[in-house]
Structure 1
Amino acid sequence: MSAEKLILASKSASRRAMLDAAGVEYEAIPADIDERALEDGLTGASPPEIAEALSVAKAAALTRVHPKTLILGSDSLVVVEGKRFDKPTSRENAAEHLRYFSGKTIELHSAAALVRDDVCEWSNADIARLQVRDLSDGFIEHYLEREWPEVGYTVGVFRIEAMGVQLFDAVEGDQFTVLGMPLLPVLGALREHGVLKT
């Protein structure tokens, strides 16, 4: 019996790397949704609720073109002292984010959802807390010289698997959540849905 087909509704290199390393077979097709417009309709929702809603929306966006197919959507968002941060719009904006993060704790919310034919069959959200060390302007400039534009595609302006690890004094939470997807719950759900062997 052949395994259930899976589509990853993402262009995220870190999410693909996680699934690849875990031995998951899938096809990656980025979802095209207006995240900001969707968020505007989620006034009052908590960060994990927003991350889950965006995960579901990304997956659902592909269900019309790929009916009866299981689609995995995932999203991450960053909150620092109650303020939401999106991906930086420019290198200068990235520097502004890093200056704001300096000496504070980043709350990183990562979520994932499995959707088929516009029905969410499973979803999960997790949180990691990353203590940012005091960052000098010199370090921020050096960091962006090395890491831009790659970190421009990330909500926290870092790749933990690269030089971004130098931003932090401590990390509390699951490493996969920090990378952008709660992988262990995802793998459990994929086993339940017949994508992976039990």
Structure 2
Amino acid sequence: MRKPIVLASGSVHRRMLLDNAGIAFAVDPSTLDERALEAPLAQSGAAPEDVALILAEAKAAEVSARHPGALVIGADQTLSLGDERFHKPADMEAARRALLALSGRTHVLSSAVALVEDGETVWRHVDQARITLRDLSPATIGRYLAEIGDTALTSVGSYQVEGRGIQLMERIEGDFFTIIGLPVLPLLAELRRRGEIDA
């Protein structure tokens, strides 16, 4: 008998990816304080991809306690530019500063996914993508933020590659799903391997 699948994320983008793939799942977002969990990891010099994996597992484990017997999907994404880490902007001014910092440079998105069952991590995976933004003038950034509004506050880079944010890009190296924040193909392969979805 197949196990219930629970997504430990409130992200509309991750939900859409699983919906589009035809996966039957419930949604129960994690309530962990990600920044509090991440701070000591960053101070210890943990690599961005390791931080993403640890956070994905922690979120899934927290939700797993509420869903015994279910397979809980946890996901997390980090954005790094050299030694600098970026988070979802708190306000439009923070979004503007982030885009100015990323302008004309190449940053790395690390997207992690983990499956947790009854508090135990049974599978984990991380992918990376590299994105180079065009040289963006302050006027271009201001126009972009005025057009998309608070949507800029919903993603770590203040852009959505699936929307107007594509206009900011010069080059993309990596998987589209990794950029959105959920490495779907490896996840589907693991669910098939476990017999939880049709092969």
Deviation string 1:141-172 (CA, Å, 9 cap, x unpaired) is: 11111212112011111111100101111100
User: Where does 1:1-198 land on structure 2 (aligned, <5 Å)?
Assistant: 2-42=1-41, 43-198=44-199
1:43-77 CA-to-partner distances (Å, cap 9, x unmatched) read 22111110000100111111111111110000111
The CA distance in 2 between the partners of 1:41 and 1:123, in whole Å, is 21
- Taking the aligned partners of 1:31 and 1:194, their CA distance within structure 2 comes to 26
Q: Is the 8 A contact 1:81 1:105 kept in 2?
A: no
- Counterparts of 1:193 and 1:28, CA distance in 2: 21
User: Percent identity at matched positions?
Assistant: 40
Q: Count the aligned residue pairs.
A: 197
Query: In structure 2, the residue corresponding to 1:73 is in which secondary structure?
Result: strand
The answer to whether the 8 A contact 2:4-2:69 is kept is no
Gapped runs of 5+ residues in structure 1?
none
Aligned equivalents of 1:108 and 1:45: distance in 2?
A: 15
Instruction: Name structure 2 gaps, 5 residues minimum.
Output: none
- Distance in 1 (CA, whole Å) between partners of 2:26 and 2:147 is 31
Q: Is the 8 A contact 1:135 1:167 kept in 2?
A: yes
| Stretch of structure 1 that moved more, 33-42 or 116-125 | 33-42
Aligned alpha-carbon RMSD (Å):
1.1
- Provide TM-score, normalisation by structure 2: 0.95
> Is the 2:3–2:69 Cα contact (8 Å) retained in structure 1?
no
More deviation, 35-44/15-24 = 35-44
Q: Is the 8 A contact 2:104 2:135 kept in 1?
A: yes
Query: SS of the counterpart of 1:156?
Result: coil
